[in-house]
Amino acid sequence: MMRRDAKGVESLPVVLLLGAVLAASTLAIGTACLDRVQRLGKRQRAIESFNTFVERARMISTGGIGNVQQVELELTGGKLVIDANLVQLIYGEEVLRSETLPLPVVQDGGGFEIGTGSYAIELLRGDKGGYFLKVRGL
């Protein structure tokens, strides 16, 4: 029969091995969770930037000709797709948000895309008397 101390010495490597396996699996799960939180944070900042753009465009639409608002967009991994009155936030391959603005938005022609950066939104009047919003990078 083994003494109590001898049994403890024999089982110590097994306990250490199990502890190492559990620590490694916990670390992998923790790393995956941290990565997910970071991705969700970037996605949330893109949604907030989209909401800011829409809010500023609506504010300008109710102002006078020549009014300008500056907007800072942080769309890491995303982009705003603008086609006349329709503004969409595309993140990866997914449309996260879509809004219709009161006035069409133009930038040198038809539909266009904008990404992360600083932009000015200006209310202008066209040759035929219609109003529109112009977006330009700063």
Write the DSSP assignment of 19-71 as a string of letters.
HHHHHHHHHHHHHHHHHHHHHHHHHHHHHHHHHHHHHHHHHHHTS-TT-EEEE
- Which residues constitute the domain of residue 25? 4-137
pLDDT in tens, 82-120: 998 999 999 888 899 999 999 998 876 667 888 888 888
Contacts of residue 42, Cβ cutoff 8 Å, sequence gap at least 6? 76, 77
pLDDT in tens, 6-60: 555 667 777 888 888 888 888 888 888 888 887 788 888 899 999 999 999 999 8
Number of domains in the chain: 1
